[in-house]
Each structure stands twice: as C-alpha cells, then as structure tokens.
Structure 1
C-alpha cells in the first residue's frame, strides 16, 4: 500500500477535539482523508498519518468541534436581510443596514441571497442547516424568499458545488406564519414535485405546518387564557376549534402516510399537546422512524414532554427567544405560564431529543450566542430568565451537532467527530471550556471544514 493511500490529507493536532460521541470524549488530534474522519485520538496516535502531502495544523490548545448544524434557519431570507435581524427590528434597535432589495425577484437574486448566507454561515462554523418551509404556499409571498422556486435554486447550487453547507428543506403548502387548509395541503402533497436530492448536499425531507402563532401576540393556541380572556386559535381553516383541530390532525396523518418528515410550528400549550398527540397516533400506526418534531414549543406541559419522549418526537427551539421575550409572555399570559415556558432542561430530563437553532434572521445565526443563552439564560440586559432550564455546555453543544444530525436522519454519518464520518469541522481560536459561556461569542471561529475541504479560514 502506497504512502499516499495511508496518509491523511489534513491533520489537526495539539488541541481539544470535542468528539460529541456517545461518551462526549475529548481527544487531542483528528486526521482527515478523502473527506472523512480517518482517525481521532492522541497526538501520537494520529501522527503516523502525517505524510509529505498532509496539511498539518498545530492547534496550540484551540478547540475542534463537529461542524455546527443550525437545524432551523431561513437561508434565503437571511441572505436578503443580513445584518438586519427581525428581533432587532421589533425592538427598534436595528434593521436593514446593507444595500439590498426588500423583495427577491427571480433566480439571480435568490441565488445571490443563498450564496451570501453560505459565506456567512461558513464564517460561523456552520456546515449544515435546515430551510424550514419553502413551497407553493408562498409562491406569491411578499418577500420572494419562501416560494417553491427557491427549492430548485438550492438543488441547482448544490449540483454546481457552490453550497458551503449541507441543506435539508421542508416544503410549505400554506402561508408563512399564516393560514392553511387541509384541502390545499393534501393537494400540495399530491401534485407538487420537489427537486431531486443532491446526495450529501441538498435534500427535501418533508413538510412544515403552521399550527398557531406566538404567545406574546396572543395568537398561540393556549389552554390557559390570555389576560384579555382569549385563548388564540389554530391557523388552519375551520369554523370552530374542533374543526380546525380535526383539520390539523388530518394534515399530519396525510403527510405521515405519504412518508414525509413533519415539522410543526406550535407554541401554545394546547397546540403543542394536540400536535404531540397527533404525531404519536400517526407513529403508532406503522412504527416508522419518521423524525417528526415540534418547532419552537414555547409552552410544553410536563404531560406533553412525556408524550414526545415516549414516541421519539423531537423539539426544535431557540434559546435566545426566552431571554428576549419572557416579559412579553408574562404580559400576555401571566406569571403562571412560566412554569411550562421554554423547558429545555425539563425536555432533556424527560428524554426528548432537543435541537437548538437560530431561526435566523429572527435571531442571529451565530450559534455561539445561542449556546451562551442556553447555558446562562442571560439576556442582553443582564437579566437571567428561566434559570432552572439552563443546560450544561456539553448538552447545548450536542443540541447544535449530533441531535440535529438525528433530526436530519443522518446521525450515522455526520454530527460527531468519529472515524468514518464526514469531515465537517469547526475550529475555535481558544479553549471552549476555558471561556465564560456569556463570552463565547467573542471566541473566534478560526476555520470551517466541509467534507474535508476548508471553506473558511482566518
């Protein structure tokens, strides 16, 4: 066997390699060959793979992580808005600060937005993300960011080798944050043909459904009343709560029976309970490992967490939301609502698969800020909100890496640094565990590696 066939293309050594494997093992070095992890271990164990053609990177104590997977991020919209963020606009602290259109027109502008996001995410160490909702329900949408044409743009860019991250997409057959109907949804399932998978780069995994709105706007569907006596409602067409619930359950059943993964935007405690029950019932019929999940899950009662855990249903939430909006939740629903609000700690303890994500451009796509919020529950104003729901650094890191890989149905080949998996890596210029979590966003991303290829380096 020649030296070329046994040596590595890339070796990073002399640092802290957080493998995020089943035991959260920390190694010293990692070797990459042909786009895959060839070996992980001590510096001496990896050293034999260094040859004449190997690029050797002395880490000098720096940190290597699996590539970050932002499992709920609107890539086209982010490319239009950045550096503006929706949360900043709502707070009156920011907006569009670059010369960009307010609506994307045509493939050229959409492609430019996607590629702008690709460069941005690579600079943050993100190597995978989920586009949660593109499809015919938004073909006439006001921003031009969420229509079905964007799915084709993604597929084309992936086939051309221009994406700097692996992208999973969900189809959308209703309006973004708005109405849908069971009839239109089932028509979409039947008639819409998404673009074919580009292996390892782009895949349409399933569908997204908007169940309700959000608690601060009193549009989430809740068991407890808002301070004005209302309960919100589902966004799905129907003359009564009962009709709307039946339509939601029918939509979930139809998508499940068609073989799709389903992500449902559900925030109110009544909405999350009904979605969890509908998922559990669908899964019980055939036992399929569908990887369905609740998106956001602002209010999750303990009984709902039990259903989610027992049925293998995930939760995808954003740690920055509670630290920014808790006072608004209290204003809408009262202090008692905080018992079930954004229960990240309770979800993990119950055995729920928990993903953390940005929902960018609602929040920043910088996962370091999200991890800091999950660990400290400290907002920009310095106030700590929901202290009992704090996560450990290792737990939050898993929620940005291996658990999103599970959501993608890809945990056997990405999401951790283990021999045989793809070489998707994020290198931080410092020791992750030596930095106060609140200061993590100041720890620079020194390098991003996708499939063994460096796509960002400073």
Structure 2
C-alpha cells in the first residue's frame, strides 16, 4: 500500500529538467520532497483522503526558479524602481554608474535602511514579489562588513543577520544563499582587508534548507559603458580601465586580486567575482582556475556578468569547471553603450552565452534585480530572442534555446549552490520546489513568455503562492 501524498499535480506537462530532459504528466509530493514523477496512472495511487489533487488541464510544471544573482534587500527597498528603467529614461550613461562612479550599479539611489528591522521588512517585501513569480531560491551576492558604512544600508552585516533570523523563524518563502563582502559594493577593496575579514568576521550560522553563507564576493572591475571595465582594447580616450583592487599600478593590482582569490579559496569558500572587461575576465578565469588546481577542491567558483569574454577565456572556464553567471537582459539594453565605449568590434565577444554553452561552460542566468526585473520569464525571452523592447536584436548568433535558458534558471543554479543532488530538478527524492505555469514555456512564442501567468509556487511541498 502506498503512503499517500500531500500534493498531486496531474494532467499537465512536467518539465523535470533531469539529465534526459524527461517531460512527465504528473508529480506527487510528500513530506517536502518529490515522491513520484510519471504518468497520471503512475501517480494516481498516491492520492488519498488527505491529498490535495490539482488538475493541471495541460498546464506546465517546472522546478522552482532559482535566481542566482539577485539583491534581495536592495530590491525590497527600491521596488518598483529598477535601475535599467532609469537608464532607459536617461538615454545615456547616467544611471549606470556605481559607487563613486566606478562600478555596475547605482547604489547611491535614494534608499536608506538603518537597523535590522527595516532590512528585514525589505527582505519580506522581496519575498512577496518573488513567490508570485515562481521563484523558490536566490543568491544574495555580497553582504558584509565592507558595506557597513555604505550609502544605502542594503548590503551590510545587518542584512546577513536579518536573513538568518527570518530563516530561523520560518518566514522566508525562498531558499537564500549569500556571499560575504569585505570591500565596497562596486568599489574599492584590498587584499589586506579581505584577509582580515576572513580571519575575524564570523557570519551567522546556516539555517539548513533556508539560508546559507556560501562564500565571498569580489569586485574585479567596473562596467564598459562607464569606461571602468578593465579591457584589452582601449576606449576612445586611449584608457583601458583598471581593476578596483588597491595597488600602485596594473601589475600590483592584478597581484593583489590573485592574492584575494587565493586567500578566499584557501579558507574553503566559494568565490563569485564581478568581472566585465575582457582583460579582467581573462585574469579572473586564470586566477580562479589556478587557485582551484592547487588542491583540486570542487569549489563551484564562478564569474559574474562576463560582459566581454574571449573564446580562450571560455575555454579556461570550461576546463576548470568555473561557472558563468550573467543576465540576458543586459546585452539587449546596453549593447549600443558598449559599442559607443569600445567600438563595434567589441560586440563580437559581448555576452557570448551560446558560445559559452558550446564550450561546455556551466551557464546560470539571473536578474541582478533591481538592475533588471526579477521576472525570470523576461530573462528567458531575452536569452532566446536577444531582442530589446524596441525589437532590435543584439547578437543573434548568441541566442539560446528555451530549454537551455530554463536549465540556466533551475539546474545550473542548483549546481552553483552545490545542491544539485537535492534540488533544481523534478525527480523523486529531491526538494518539492515547483513552479506551475498557465501554458507550456516550450510551446509558446518566446517573446510571449513574459505574459504566461505563474499560477502556483510550491516550496518544500507547501504552496506559498496561488493565483
């Protein structure tokens, strides 16, 4: 006799995202995990008196969406404002700068969160935004003592404590992974400060299944439109940008960056590095690969953004098992700015997601919200069409298939989290994190995907959103 399920979804298209790309008809959950996946007949015996049965009537089921680079506190503080909306409103470079005009975010936006209680309210506001989008997990990329004196209060140690407290109380409706930050967001850092932080800073303890501090975020350079990305080719004024790490010259700064990566790896941390210029991405890929090769640890390091990536750099990432975490909406919005800064030839190596997949790089797509909307459906559409809001296609040779884009929001982020054995796909024994859509994402026109409603979000087998 079968033990009855808590929830059965049946009569639809269940995109399991398993290694074989299996599409099933029904899924059952029990005790927070997937109990069965298969045909309606396979799953029917698990439905008992206490089971909730949802007739999908052709609707689609995906694994819960994992936005692997999303600033949860900042999003909750800023919503509904988005930085890319500001960029569109200015028609130029305003709104794209970062701390002191050096980085990729404008976190001098008019928000100021003082105190853990206000930070917690921002996190809960974000939770209320993400659950209706089918998002069951995200990575908060950079919180810690480097930003305790920051302009917004969104990125300091109080945010780490707030996440841990909310997770302990069971108030988070998404699984959150965090990276520590020992420098300024989008700004300067130093090898000495990072080493001191690694020695003295104690993050809050993990809350299993809900909140985990996985590693360290490092900023290598800025962004191309602000002429602050570190590039091989010169900008119009002859400059090539520079690393944000303290140092006397390029060689000194590069040595310091490599020392930071070595130290964080030796301390047992995962490392995510913000790098955009082709020179920065080349050096970061090599430094991560070199650090990892010293002890052979499968550290799940990854490069963030990767605006400019040469084929040789992609090969290094693939060979070393280093991930790439990027945002498909950025190229469709900012390619003209990149071309203006570095010339049209630079677009050949710009946001090469198709080339990355072909090279064997593990690709995660994310929103970087509130830079872009947290709506992953818009991210998938951008990755598949490479079309902006005006219909202009940017880099059509780098378009990817819908199935690849969905894996980049589910399976690969689970790998990035070091959690692919227990989440990221709809398979028996894995976490019952699910997203139910009104239509099949593989059956609609990609440009229309953002208008396909999310009808249910399930976390640990519990319905956290229902339309």
If the length of structure 2 is used for normalisation, what is the TM-score?
A: 0.95
Question: Which whole-Å deviations, capped at 9, do the CAs of 1:335-362 have from their partners, x for residues lacking one?
Answer: 1101110000000000000000000000
Residue 18 (str. 1) matches residue 27 (str. 2): no
Residue 108 (str. 1) matches residue 117 (str. 2): yes
Map 1:268-287 onto structure 2 (within 5 A): 268-287=277-296
> 88, 93, 96: which is aligned to 1:91?
88
> 433, 451, 454: which is aligned to 1:445?
454
Say if 1:151 and 1:195, in contact at 8 Å, map to a contact too.
Answer: yes
Q: What is residue 315 of structure 1 aligned with on the other side?
A: 324
Structure 2: runs of 5 or more not aligned = 96-108
Measured on the aligned residues, the alpha-carbon RMSD in Å equals 1.2
Residue 63 (str. 1) matches residue 72 (str. 2): no
Residue 436 (str. 1) matches residue 433 (str. 2): no
> 254, 260, 268: which is aligned to 1:245?
254
SS in 2 for 1:109: helix
Q: What is residue 425 of structure 2 aligned with on the other side?
A: 416
Map 1:20-419 onto structure 2 (within 5 A): 20-92=17-89, 102-419=111-428
Question: How far apart are residue 434 of structure 1 and its match?
Answer: 2.1
Question: How far apart are residue 258 of structure 1 and its match?
Answer: 0.2
Give the Cα–Cα distance (whole angstroms) in 1 for the partners of residues 454 and 247 of structure 2.
49
Question: How far apart are residue 12 of structure 1 and its match?
Answer: 0.2
Q: What is residue 6 of structure 2 aligned with on the other side?
A: 9
Say if 2:116 and 2:161, in contact at 8 Å, map to a contact too.
Answer: no
SS in 2 for 1:14: strand
Say if 2:403 and 2:442, in contact at 8 Å, map to a contact too.
Answer: no
SS in 1 for 2:231: coil
SS in 1 for 2:325: strand
Say if 1:80 and 1:101, in contact at 8 Å, map to a contact too.
Answer: no
Question: Which whole-Å deviations, capped at 9, do the CAs of 1:49-96 have from their partners, x for residues lacking one?
Answer: 11111000000000000000000000000000111101111222799x
Give the Cα–Cα distance (whole angstroms) in 2 for the partners of residues 246 and 253 of structure 1.
10
Say if 2:32 and 2:461, in contact at 8 Å, map to a contact too.
Answer: yes
Give the Cα–Cα distance (whole angstroms) in 2 for the partners of residues 35 and 101 of structure 1.
40
Give the Cα–Cα distance (whole angstroms) in 1 for the partners of residues 414 and 330 of structure 2.
22
Question: Which whole-Å deviations, capped at 9, do the CAs of 1:193-225 have from their partners, x for residues lacking one?
Answer: 000000000000000000000011110000011
Structure 1: runs of 5 or more not aligned = none
SS in 1 for 2:24: strand
SS in 2 for 1:38: strand
Say if 2:458 and 2:464, in contact at 8 Å, map to a contact too.
Answer: yes
**Worse overlay, 431-440 or 138-147:** 431-440
Question: Which whole-Å deviations, capped at 9, do the CAs of 1:83-123 have from their partners, x for residues lacking one?
Answer: 1101111222799xxxx972111112111000000111001
SS in 1 for 2:57: coil
SS in 2 for 1:180: coil
Say if 1:236 and 1:247, in contact at 8 Å, map to a contact too.
Answer: yes
Q: What is residue 101 of structure 2 aligned with on the other side?
A: none
Q: What is residue 104 of structure 2 aligned with on the other side?
A: none
1:138–1:54 distance in 2 versus 1, CA, 3 Å: same
